[in-house]
A and B are shown apart, each in its own frame.
Chain A
Amino acid sequence: MSRNSLLEDPRPSSFLEKPSEDTSQVTDTTGATLAGFRSAEDLLIPGVEDVVEESTTHHKPHGSDPINDQTMVLNMGPQHPSTHGVLRLVLEVDGETIVSLAPDIGYLHTGIEKTCEAKFYHQVVPLTDRIDYICPMTNNLAYALAVEKLLDLEIPERAQYLRVLFNELTRIQSHLVWLGTHAMDIGALTIFLYCFREREDLLRIFEAVSGQRMMGSYIRVGGLSVEPPLDIYDKIRAFLNAFPSHIEEYEGLLNANPIWMGRLKGVGYLSAENAIALGVTGPPMRASGVDFDVRRDMPYSGYEKFKFNVPVSNDGDVWARYIVRMQELRESTNICLQALDGLPEGRITANAPKIILPDREQMKTQMESLIHHFKIVTEGFQVPAGEVCSSVEAPHGMMNYYVVSDGTAKPYRVHMRNPDFATLQALEVMCKGQLIADVVAVIGSIDIVLGAIDR
Chain B
Amino acid sequence: MAADPITNPATPPSTSQAAVFGKQAVTDALADHAAILGLKDLIVDAKWDRKELTLTVAPETILAAAQAARIAGYNFLEDVTCVDWYPTEPRFQLTYHILSHTLKQRLRLISRVSGDDPRIDSITSVWPSANFYEREVFDLFGVHFPGHPRLTRIMMPDNWNGHPLRKDYPVEGYR
Contacts and interface: CB of A to CB of B under 8 A. Distances in A.
Contacts of A297: 101, 104
B71 A49 contact: no
B74 to A, nearest CB: 8
A34 B71 contact: yes
Given A106-B155, A402-B79, A412-B83, A300 B126 contact: no
Contacts of B140: 113
B152 A391 contact: no
Contacts of B129: 277-279, 422, 425
Interface stretch (A37-45, A205-213, A219-227): A37-45
A109 interface: yes
A229 B79 CA distance: 39
Contacts of A32: 71, 73
Nearest to A296: B2
Interface string A407-441: 00000110101000110110000000000000000
A137 B70 CA distance: 33
Contacts of A386: 49-50
Contacts of B45: none
A131 to B, nearest CB: 14
A124 B78 CA distance: 23
A150 B150 contact: no
Given A391-B106, A425-B129, A417 B154 contact: no
Interface string B70-110: 11011111110101100000000001010011101010100
B11 interface: no
Contacts of A382: none
Contact of A30 (B2, B75, B153, B156): B75
A45 B128 contact: yes
Nearest to A119: B171
Given A299-B2, A415-B81, A402 B97 contact: yes
A27 B104 CA distance: 12
B81 A152 contact: no
B106 A36 contact: no
Interface residues of A, number: 60
Nearest to A37: B128
Contacts, number: 141
Nearest to B149: A44
A454 B5 contact: no
Interface string B112-154: 0000000000001111110111000000100000000110111
Given A23-B101, A113-B165, A387-B54, A421 B132 contact: yes
Contacts of B104: 297-298
A17 interface: no
Given A277-B128, A279-B78, A402-B79, A31 B165 contact: no
A276 B106 CA distance: 15
B95 to A, nearest CB: 7
Interface residues of B, number: 50
A261 interface: no
B128 A278 contact: yes
Contacts of B50: 149-150, 152, 386, 388
A416 to B, nearest CB: 9
Interface string A28-60: 001110101100100111110110000000000
A30 B100 CA distance: 11
Contact of A43 (B128, B154, B164, B171): B128
Nearest to B74: A31
Contacts of B78: 279, 391, 398, 400, 417
A351 interface: no
A291 B103 CA distance: 13
A240 B30 CA distance: 46
A115 B170 CA distance: 10
A183 to B, nearest CB: 28
Given A31-B73, A43-B128, A118-B171, A400 B97 contact: yes
Interface string B28-64: 0000000000000000000001101010000000000
Given A387-B54, A454-B155, A27 B101 contact: yes
15 contacts: A31-B70, A34-B67, A37-B128, A44-B124, A47-B149, A47-B152, A278-B129, A279-B78, A391-B106, A402-B79, A413-B83, A413-B84, A424-B132, A425-B128, A454-B155
- 5 pairs of A and B residues whose beta carbons are closest in the complex: A279-B129, A304-B2, A31-B75, A43-B128, A298-B5
Given A47-B149, A391-B5, 16 more contacts: A36-B126, A40-B124, A44-B128, A50-B150, A106-B157, A114-B164, A276-B76, A387-B54, A387-B83, A388-B50, A389-B97, A400-B79, A412-B83, A413-B83, A415-B81, A421-B132
Interface of B: 2, 5-6, 49-50, 52, 54, 67, 70-71, 73-79, 81, 83-84, 95, 97, 100-102, 104, 106, 108, 124-129, 131-133, 140, 149-150, 152-157, 164-165, 169, 171
